[in-house]
Amino acid sequence: MLAKRIIPCLDVKDGRTVKGVNFVDLRDAGDPVELAYEYSQQGADELVFLDITATHERRKTTIDLVKAVARQVNIPFTIGGGINEIKDAEILLNAGADKISINSAAVRNPALINEMAAAFGAQFVVVAVDTRSIEGQNFVYLSGGRIKTELNTSEWIMEAQERGAGEILLTSMDHDGTKNGFDNGFLKTINDQIHIPLIASGGAGNQQHFVDVFQHANVDAALAASVFHYGEILIPDLKATLQQNGIVVR
């Protein structure tokens, strides 16, 4: 049985880590490089950095951040935001990132997934999907949740897998920042349909929520932000709780 992964997510804006609720009302959560170091010391399995305004502001993810993080941590980290072409990904991987995450760019140009998987290998390509439920149907949103598409979330994830995505990072916008728990029902539906790893995102508020998402949705990894950033959950405590509930962790 593969060990489940715990992944702190750092949403970066103007060089600072920020966190909001349902993708809005952002507040400062600290220096991303310092937080990255702290999480690697605590025993996080991986990190995800998302430059949350790069796509919206039509600019590239900051290379300096990637280099600084690579110097500080010894665990894998994924970087996303503003990656629109092979060259963008190549620069970030060369700067020290272990994986790249594409979201809006993949929807606008699905062939980008094929190209990146062919160029770097599927294991380097994370397709991030922001989803919201409207009248019982889940739709894909772009540009940090600003733009609704007519894409059915489940269908898009299946297509991303077929095109060579190595992993799916699925964020429920309805649950994001609410601390009411992950969207376990929808996560299970997706996880039952795909054969690549699924990272759950959106809604973590306490340790039991992590137990629930692993037990009910059987996801490969659970990602959270504010509960880690503000010290509400410490990773060693969380891993101890997961082990007590029979969940294999590193």
Half-sphere exposure of 125 (CA within 13 A, CB side): 29
Q: State the Cα–Cα distance between residues 31 and 234, nearest whole angstrom.
A: 18
Task: Please name the residue that has the structure tokens 């949103």.
Answer: 141
Buried b (16+ CB within 10 A) or exposed e, 192-227: eebebbbbbbbbbbbbebbbbbbeebebbbbbbbbb
Residue 21 and residue 13: Cα distance in Å, rounded?
15
Length of the chain: 250
Distance CA 99, CA 89 (A): 9
Residue 86 is encoded by which pair of tokens? Answer: 């092979």
First to last CA, the chain: 11
Among 54, 43, 53, which residue's Cα sits nearest to residue 8? Answer: 43
Closest CA to 170 of 231, 120, 219, 114: 219
- The residues carrying an active-site annotation are 11, 130
